[in-house]
Amino acid sequence: MLEDGDCMSGVPLDDLVNEILPEIIQIRRKIHENPELGFEEFETSKLIATYLKDLGLEMKEGVAKTGVVAILRPVNPKKEKTLLIRADMDALPLQEETDEPFRSRNPNKMHACAHDSHVAMILGVANILTKLKDQLQGNVKFVFQPAEEGPGGARPMIREGVLKDPDVTAAIALHVDSKQPTGKIALRKGYVTASADDFHITLKGPGGHGSAPHMTKDLVLIGSQLVLALHALPTREVDPLEPVVLTIGRFSAGTRHNIIGDSALLEGTLRTFNEEVRQYLLERIRETVDRFADLYGIEVSIDINPNDSGYSAGWNDPEFTELVAKAIKSNLGDDVITWEEKPIMGAEDFFEFGLNKSIPTCMFFVGTKNEEKGCVHSMHSSHFKLDEDCLPIGIKAMVSAALSYLKE
Ligand SMILES: [Zn+2]
Ligand SMILES: [Zn+2]
């Protein structure tokens, strides 16, 4: 654990960060200008690989298509520990509407979830930890992950062995937070994010004239009944003390006021924290849809998590999170941390690296709200603007957490 001061290898952490900050800001802007969607982060991963190679790290490219993994080994390994530090790299399909000089040059692609800043900060962390490697007692594995915004790059990376050789003993990540003011870091012990599963339902039956519904299967009416039946599952079959969200975000059917169409499409998402509730409801959704086939004499099909897109609930291991909080406070001050009262129903696939709580995971949130600079729009908004003053804070917090974990 670092003591109050910030002396590392004789050089204060602030100085180490300030030295690389202009470069980190340039990297962030460069990635911001050239956003790439999930599993298409080719230029981004090239930039990452070049930077890591220059640091002299052991590297693997093309993990889960565009992912990059680098390993920093200690000079004198004393602990069987490997800390995985993850940054996500993908942008969102959104047209940027900010006035930044380095705004997106790619139409309908934007780093509106600030993953550009995550990459830049973790490259900065890799740079500083490389300089401090004589202080490490275990390995650091830097994981640059594709497709966080869906369908998810963590699981394919795990399947390609990212948690092995050396075996990961804890995983950590940061995410920018547009609700917290710059200078604050939000943390929570226990659940942080919900599980997320998407389902796609198709209904088919004979269509016909709107004046003769008895000669058809009216899929607008049947689909409407199905929406109600699905909504009854979480509200009537699950303990009301278990938080669940079921949303049918898309219901599309028909072409014209007097035609009964021959197909309908429903798409929805299911969110919860309890794995048992999650599995129960997914099964009941499937069963309910299947029963509608018999009940109305129509054809149905349901596809849950196509492209392996389901995310499990995010869990911040309480003990590991306490260690991270202490390390951050020791370098950034006691009042930097805000403890979040509630988790969110949003989802994050970083927590897949925890393999259902068998590896301690922790994600902390770096505030980037700054009214004076107009950094007030929420993430995923086409107006979202990052306050770059959050970059040194995120870097310092992550370096502190990593050193603390690998020294304990
Ligand atoms: Zn996002
Ligand atoms: Zn994000």
Q: Residue 7 has what pLDDT?
A: 45
- Closest by CA position to 350, among listed 91, 161, 87: 87
Question: What is the biggest distance separating any 2 CA atoms in the chain, rounded to whole angstroms?
Answer: 85
Considering the domain architecture, whether residues 175 and 50 belong to the same structural domain is answered as: yes
Domain count, the chain: 2
Q: What is the distance between the alpha carbons of residues 372 and 97, in angstroms, rounded to a whole number?
A: 19
Are 295 and 165 in a shared domain? no
φ, ψ for residue 256, nearest 5 deg: -160, 155
Residue 239 tokens read as 């303990």
174 CA from centroid of ligand 1 (Å): 13
For 117-138, letters b (16+ CB in 10 Å) and e give bbbbbbbbbbbbbbbbeeebbb
Spatial contact of 220 and 343, defined as CB atoms under 8 Å apart: no
Ligand 2 centroid vs 242 CA: distance in angstroms?
25
> Final residue of a domain: which of 308, 333, 357?
308
Q: Is residue 2 part of a domain?
A: no
270 CA → ligand 1 middle, Å: 17
Find the CATH number of the domain harbouring 106: 3.40.630.10
Q: Which amino acid is at 215?
A: M
Give yes or no for a cis peptide into 166 (omega within 30° of 0): yes
What is the spatial distance between Cα 49 and Cα 66, in angstroms, rounded to a whole number?
Answer: 11
3-state helix, strand, coil in the chain (%, to 5): 35, 25, 35
pLDDT tens by residue, 321-352:
999 999 999 999 999 999 999 999 999 999 99
237 within some domain: yes
pLDDT of residue 9: 55
Tell me if residue 388 is catalytic.
Answer: yes
Q: Put residue 385 in one of left, alpha, beta given phi > 0 → left and psi -120 to 50 → alpha.
A: beta
Do residue 317 and residue 181 come from a single domain?
Answer: yes
In this structure, the answer to whether residues 257 and 367 fall within a common structural domain is no
Range of the domain at 234: 195-308
Residues 240, 386, single domain; the answer is: no
Same domain (yes/no): 253, 345: no
Element (H, E) at 129: helix 115-131
Q: How far apart are CA 306 and CA 40, in angstroms?
A: 19
What pLDDT score does 79 carry? 74
Q: Give the residue from 273, 308, 343 where a domain finishes.
A: 308
Q: Which ligand gives the minimal distance to the CA of 380? A: 1
Instruction: Specify the CATH number for the domain of residue 286.
Output: 3.30.70.360
- The answer to whether position 17 is within a domain reads yes
Q: How far apart are CA 197 and CA 312, in angstroms?
A: 8
DSSP for 260-282, please give it.
Answer: E-SEEEEEEEEEES-HHHHHHHH
What tokens does 159 get? 């399947």
Kind and range of the H or E run holding 156:
helix 154-159
Statement to judge: residues 287 and 326 lie in one domain: no
Instruction: For residue 166, give the 3-state DSSP assignment.
Output: coil
Catalytic option among 311, 348, 352, 405:
311
Would residue 121 count as lying in a domain?
A: yes
Rounded Cα–Cα distance for residues 284 and 357 (Å): 25
Same domain, 276 and 167: no
Please give the distance, rounded to the nearest whole angstrom, from the Cα atom of residue 14 to the centre of ligand 1.
Answer: 29
For residue 171, the cross-strand partners are 84, 361
| The two three-digit tokens of residue 229, written as one number | 């039946």
Ligand 2 centre to CA of 115 (Å) is 6
233/358 same-domain check: no
User: Angle at Cα 160 formed by Cα 156 and Cα 164, nearest 5°?
Assistant: 120
Do 181 and 367 form a contact (C-beta atoms < 8 A)? Answer: yes
- How far, in Å, CA of 240 to CA of 319, rounded? 29
| Spans of the chain below 50 pLDDT | 1-7
What's CA 139's distance to the chain center, in Å? 24
Q: Are 222 and 292 in contact (CB under 8 A)?
A: yes
Query: Which ligand lies nearest to the CA atom of residue 196 in the structure?
Result: 1
Confidence (pTM): 0.92
Q: What angle do CA 381, 310, 142 make, to 5 degrees?
A: 75
End of a domain among 249, 284, 308?
308
Q: CA distances (Å), 379 to each of 32, 59, 371, 391, in order?
A: 14, 31, 15, 16
Q: Are residues 301 and 340 in the same domain?
A: no
Which member of 36, 41, 149, 388 is catalytic? 388
Same domain for 171 and 27, yes or no, is yes
Ion ligand 1, residues whose Cβ is below 5 A away: 113
Residue 287 three-state SS: helix
Q: Which ligand is nearest to the CA of 89?
A: 2
Q: Which amino acid type is present at position 14?
A: D
Query: What count of Cα atoms within 13 Å lies in the side-chain half-sphere of residue 161?
Result: 6
d(CA 255, CA 155): 39
For ligand 2, the distance from its centroid to the CA atom of residue 88, given in whole angstroms, is: 7
User: So what's the pLDDT on residue 4?
Assistant: 39
**CA distance readout (Å), 403 to 140, 254, 304:** 10, 59, 41
Report CA(343)–ligand 2 centroid distance (Å).
15
Q: Which-ligand-closest: CA of 378?
A: 1
Q: Which ligand is nearest to the CA of 174?
A: 2
Distance (Å, whole) CA 135 – CA 138: 9
CA of 113 to the centre of ligand 1 (A): 5
Ligand 1 geometric centre to CA of 376 (Å): 16
